[in-house]
Structure 1
Amino acid sequence: MSKSKIEELVVTRSGESKFGEQIIILPSLTNIYDDLINLDVKHVLIGIPEAVGVFANYGKSGASKAWDATIKILLNTQNNHLNRPEQLLILGHLDFSEAQKQLSKWDQNNEKHIKKARALVSEIDKEVSDVIYNVVKAGKIPIVIGGGHNNAYGNIKGSSLALNKKINVVNFDAHTDFRALEGRHSGNGFSYAFAEGFLNRYFIFGIHKNYNSQNILNEALNADNSIKYNTFESIEVQKIYKYKSEMKKALKYVSQDAFGIEIDCDAIANVPSSAQTPSGFSVNQARQFVHFFGSHKKTSYLHICEAAPTKKTATQVGKLITYLITDFIRANSN
């Protein structure tokens, strides 16, 4: 991301300092690893403005717009001793504009177009995996914003290759995203990562009983004891388990090794997303989740996905994601 673009987005005010005035950027991108390795930053922000994976999973488009909605709000966040902008480098976003143009010509009811979209997701995977690999190899923690949950695959693969071992993941989600290996889309990033040996332990936090098939539950229950989950209903409806105790249980399961944090905005009530829900965890619970897991020293990355803002909701979605980013930076910087 260029300095001129940041200056264009930041609204300055006398007597105030904004994130965008303090944020670190790279003067040029030659080799991401070489550019990052000696920089005194901990977190690297990356945008993925695409909705191809959501389309390929028969979902509602709009996830390509989350990055633009977020960066405007983040750059205008107050810089004070309660925030840590000096810990963050904005790398910018991956350019999938051509993929988005192709997507606009396709029909979701046409199986040939679905197949083309799934092939295109595999190409997107390569770019995401590569940038995550370089950021993690340089010893930094990626914060990945926007796009569908298909990008979890690139986060996991890139991190695994950089660390030279399988990694664990905790996923705040209404769905397992462990669908069949039927061509890449937003519903099978974790099943592909698991099948290809990049994902080890996987905990899905708060799945909805109404939206996960028996076949998927059978897969999740029988994947070499490497997958565990709880349900939203058991925590918030039946009140069998307490939210904090379930977070502790999930952390104990994934924190035996490096782990990624996945936040699917479908799991947060009334947030515009590819599968928006009227019943889900609250925004404050999502913030608690990011803070709780982000505080752990073995956190490898944060991924916030599936938000699908409209013109009317862009500011609210941008604020939500910005809260999650700043919560993570504060927790992870201590």
Structure 2
Amino acid sequence: MENLVPFTSIELGKITNHRSGEIKFGEKMLTVPKEGDPIQFIANCKAKFVLFGIPEDIGVRANFGRPGAASAWQSAIKSIANIQHNRFCKGSQLLVLGSLDVKNEMQLAEKLDFHNVNDRKTFSTLVEKIDKEVSHIIFTIVKAGKIPIIIGGGHNNAYGNIKGTALAKSKPINVVNFDAHSDFRILEGRHSGNGFSYAFDEGFLKKYFIYGLHESYTSKNVLLRLKDLEDRVRFNTYDEIAIRKVKNFEQELNQALTFIKNEPFGIEIDLDSLPNIASSAMTPTGFSIEQVRQFVHHFGKHFHSTYLHICEGAPDLAEDKNPQLIGKLIGYLITDFMKAKAVLEE
């Protein structure tokens, strides 16, 4: 884990707003001791969940999106540290591992132009490098019997999550993705729009369910490919659930779970599926925040749910008046997931 930037207890103390008579997550969350071995500490600590940040937007840039997702980690960890530790959810169940060191890659990406063919190849090379690091860290967490909670970054990191988990489980895994886009584009070099198609093609992804596709932003070629693969890849659309109402939100949750539940599965949440949430591909229409929280709970409470990935949130693209909202939203989704997993123990 040489490319991990550990999150220290000192840093945690600085971002925790201590208040008399209250106990915050930041006072209870675990960090790896300064001289400790991260791998051994992950395996031996009492925390069930391991929080890991990927502060990059290189995959987004490589997919012609707006940069800004790199800022989600810092926003989220500040919000998470100030959640109340109480009987509903306990900070002591969460180990803050740290973030991936992508400083050099981000500096290189700043100088690249998506419209330049050679630069696009360089973008893909940078994403592939991040893929290797992410898959190694996720492999380590899952192999230790813990549950990764990953804060992106772009949706390109789904590939590393899937590969790392599949290698740790010694078999391909399933995934359910709450997203306006399929991210199942052609294998044209790695970027944020083809993490799932690469994972599928390389044998790490077995079954894939896309929940809430936006019909107007899914190409004909992708739809044809999804139809050809319907034994292993299925989807519903936001339009048929929320606009035409030919499908029901809750019933579709059950349909999706039935499709993936027989194997370990990852839960992917793309924040660009929510209306007016700052992201690389903001939308004015989509499912509500309450619905995505219900989604996380519904899948999180199943025995085979193996990781949670929240991506594409971009606080840097938000209004200056409320820059903390993306971090706070991510905090809600994380505690929803933790509470859902706690249901299994009751």
User: What TM bracket, shorter-length normalisation?
Assistant: over 0.9
Distance 2:184 2:46 in 1: 37
- How far residue 14 of structure 1 moved from its aligned partner, in angstroms, is 1.1
Farther off after superposition, 44-53 or 80-89: 80-89
Count of matched residue positions in the alignment of Structure 1 and Structure 2: 334
CA contact under 8 A between 1:19 and 1:85: conserved in structure 2? yes
Farther off after superposition, 95-104 or 250-259: 95-104
Specify the alignment match of 2:129 in structure 1: 123
Aligned positions of 1:43-58 closer than 5 A? 43-58=49-64
- How far residue 29 of structure 1 moved from its aligned partner, in angstroms, is 7.0
Q: Does 1:331 align with 2:337?
A: no
- How far residue 112 of structure 1 moved from its aligned partner, in angstroms, is 2.0
**AA aligned opposite 1:200:** K
Specify the alignment match of 2:4 in structure 1: none
CA contact under 8 A between 2:181 and 2:213: conserved in structure 1? yes
Q: Residue deviations 1:206-264, cap 9 Å, x none? A: 00110111111111121261000000001000011111100000001010110000000
CA contact under 8 A between 1:23 and 1:89: conserved in structure 2? yes
Which of 12, 19, 23 in structure 2 is aligned with 1:17?
23
Q: Does 1:176 align with 2:187?
A: no
Specify the alignment match of 2:144 in structure 1: 138
Q: Residue deviations 1:62-109, cap 9 Å, x none? A: 010000110111101111112221211110111111111112222233
Gaps of 5+ in 1: none
TM-score by length of 2: 0.94
**AA aligned opposite 1:100:** M
Specify the alignment match of 2:244 in structure 1: 238
Specify the alignment match of 2:295 in structure 1: 289
CA contact under 8 A between 1:32 and 1:131: conserved in structure 2? no
Distance 1:182 1:164 in 2: 27
Aligned identity (percent) is: 50
Farther off after superposition, 7-16 or 140-149: 7-16
Aligned positions of 1:62-73 closer than 5 A? 62-73=68-79
Farther off after superposition, 48-57 or 22-31: 22-31
Q: Residue deviations 1:134-172, cap 9 Å, x none? A: 000000010000200000000000000000001000000
**AA aligned opposite 1:169:** V
Distance 2:79 2:151 in 1: 13
- How far residue 179 of structure 1 moved from its aligned partner, in angstroms, is 0.5
CA contact under 8 A between 1:57 and 1:186: conserved in structure 2? yes
Aligned positions of 1:1-334 closer than 5 A? 1-28=7-34, 31-223=37-229, 225-310=231-316, 312=320, 313-334=322-343
CA contact under 8 A between 2:32 and 2:38: conserved in structure 1? no
Secondary structure of the 1:297 match is coil
CA contact under 8 A between 1:33 and 1:137: conserved in structure 2? no
CA RMSD, Structure 1 to Structure 2 (Å):
1.2
TM-score by length of 1: 0.98
Distance 1:38 1:82 in 2: 24
Secondary structure of the 2:223 match is helix
